[in-house]
Amino acid sequence: MENLKALGQAAKQPNSPEEAELERVPNPHPDCNFVARFTQPEFTSLCPVTAQPDFAHLIIDYIPDQWMVESKSLKLYLGSFRNHQAFHEAFSSLFMRNSIPSRFPDSFVSYVFRAF
């Protein structure tokens, strides 16, 4: 865990999702399945049509295998969408297809992403 860039130190909010880096930590209990939940009650992005702030309540549930998402890096990643123009549907697709599978291959048994 000594290679973590966000946890335990001051971390600058990334300007865009492309700059953000999701980090991982070892699952302390890889021998049993449990649901890890992360909620973001005020996820914000910009509407691509009006450029006005768009809000959602996110719930991310997943069953970790060998690795877990480090929560501070996830908060910074989600915050990087604050000035990014995207519909929530596009964000959820990006997150489900690109972020978790590409950055954490073989790390999760299952995950669910919901935006309200």
Residue 54 annotated as catalytic? yes
pLDDT of residue 55: 83
What pLDDT is recorded for position 28?
93
As given in the structure block, the two tokens for residue 56 are: 């959602």
* pLDDT tens digit sequence for 79-109: 988 888 887 777 777 776 666 666 666 666 5
Residues of the chain above pLDDT 90, percent: 12
Of these residues, 31, 54, 61, 65, which one is catalytic? 54
Domain 26-115 part of CATH 1.10.645.10: no
Active site residue 65: no
Quote the pLDDT of residue 108: 62
Annotated catalytic residue: which of 31, 32, 47, 65?
47
* Whether residue 63 has pLDDT greater than 80: yes
Query: What dihedral angle (degrees, nearest 10) is formed by the CA atoms of 101, 18, 25, 38?
Result: -80
Please say if the pLDDT value at position 74 is more than 80: yes
The amino acid at residue 6 is: A
